[in-house]
Amino acid sequence: MSTDITDAVELTGSSVAPYSPENPAPVIEPPRARTKRTPRSSRTNFEMYGWLFMRLSGVVLVVLVIGHLLIQLVLDGGVQKVGFAFVAGRWASPFWQYWDLAMLWLAMLHGGNGLRTVINDYAEQANTRVWLKTLLFTAVAFTIVLGSLVIFTFDPNIR
Amino acid sequence: MPAGTLYRGREGMWSWVAHRVTGVLIFFFLFVHVLDTALVRVSPEDYDKVVATYKTPIVSLLEYGLVAAILFHALNGLRIIAVDYWTQGPRYQKQMLWTVVGLWILLMLGAIYPVLGHAARVLFGS
């Protein structure tokens, strides 16, 4: 551990002492710092709210998803019991309808924002990023709309 | 060979890699899972036919993998929140990662019977 730090300092080829609170490293300008030339339209806190959303939705999803896994995969015979009749029984209660609705929206938005980050990290060309994010947005919107409709238009007497 | 850092090749980097990989896997499962559940609006028979594949031994093993991915992502996500918001979080990030791994192993041992029990009975007889 300590040798690692020594090596890292030697790599700089400088003879000054290692950085410390008394001898702080030089401040590096953030690559996306806002300047006067930054367009007004991008001067929002979108990324900060995205960051905050990942943490808030994450905490709620831990409860919703682990509860879902317990019900579907562990309790009362595990996945073997799941079928149309089981779904009908659970969605007869508004509590489980809203549980599943909250899980659907939060998980899709949490996962969608996560994949947006992954695309921004690995797709190097601006064109590729636009297309991948358009595809992602379409898939997320489609899944949220479809899932919400299925939960609230469910008909136990469909046949 | 570059010198090591506090991050590269260590617990911080590998937990980030695992968090990203499990997150992407869970996202793609979620997409498929909403589509298969949407079959309840088509007909009970179609839904039950597709859900029957979820009950086969091979897919049970995949479900065990899904549970593994979700539990790691959940526990490590709580660790990330602790690193961000708890004043002592960054100091204890390594210890918290090994706590996450320990809890994850315990929960995965507990999930063997409920998730894989039926598959074992099918394959090896009860």
Residue A113 with chain B: CB contacts under 8 Å: none
Q: What pTM was estimated for this model as a whole?
A: 0.83
- Alpha-carbon distance B123 to nearest alpha carbon in chain A (angstroms): 15
Are the Cβ atoms of A146 and B67 closer than 8 angstroms?
no
Are the Cβ atoms of A59 and B30 closer than 8 angstroms?
no
Look-up: residue for tokens 């790599």?
A11
Are the Cβ atoms of B41 and A107 closer than 8 angstroms?
no
- Alpha-carbon distance A38 to nearest alpha carbon in chain B (angstroms): 28
Cβ pair B83, B89 in contact under 8 A: yes
A5 has a pLDDT exceeding 80: no
Confirm or reject contact between A156 and chain B (CB < 8 A): no
CATH class held by domain A17-153: mainly alpha
Exposure of B86 by Cβ count < 10 A (0-12 exposed, 13-18 middle, 19+ buried)? Answer: middle
Of A62, A78, A147, the CB nearest to B115: A78
What value does the mean pLDDT take over residues A15-21?
70
What value does the mean pLDDT take over residues A98-106?
97
Give the model's confidence band at A4: pLDDT under 50 very low, under 70 low, under 90 confident, else very high. Answer: very low
Q: What is the ipTM of this complex?
A: 0.91
A36 has a pLDDT exceeding 80: no
What is the pLDDT, as a whole number, of residue A9?
46
CATH class held by domain B13-124: mainly alpha
- Alpha-carbon distance A37 to nearest alpha carbon in chain B (angstroms): 31
- Which parts of chain B sit beneath pLDDT 70? 1-4, 126
| Separation of alpha carbons A147 and A97, rounded Å | 11
Confirm or reject contact between B47 and chain A (CB < 8 A): yes
What's the mean per-residue pLDDT of chain A? Answer: 86
Look-up: residue for tokens 């938005």?
A109
**Domain-wise residue ranges, chain A:** 17-153
Using CA coordinates, name the residue in chain B closest to A61. B74
Q: Name the DSSP class of B88.
A: T
| Separation of alpha carbons A106 and A65, rounded Å | 10
Of B24, B38, B114, the CB nearest to A118: B24
A33 has a pLDDT exceeding 80: no
What is the pLDDT, as a whole number, of residue B30?
96
Q: What is the pLDDT of residues A46-101, one digit of tens each?
A: 899 999 999 999 999 999 999 999 999 988 888 888 989 999 999 999 999 999 99
CA distances from A133 to A106, A112, A140 (A): 18, 9, 10
What is the pLDDT, as a whole number, of residue B3?
62
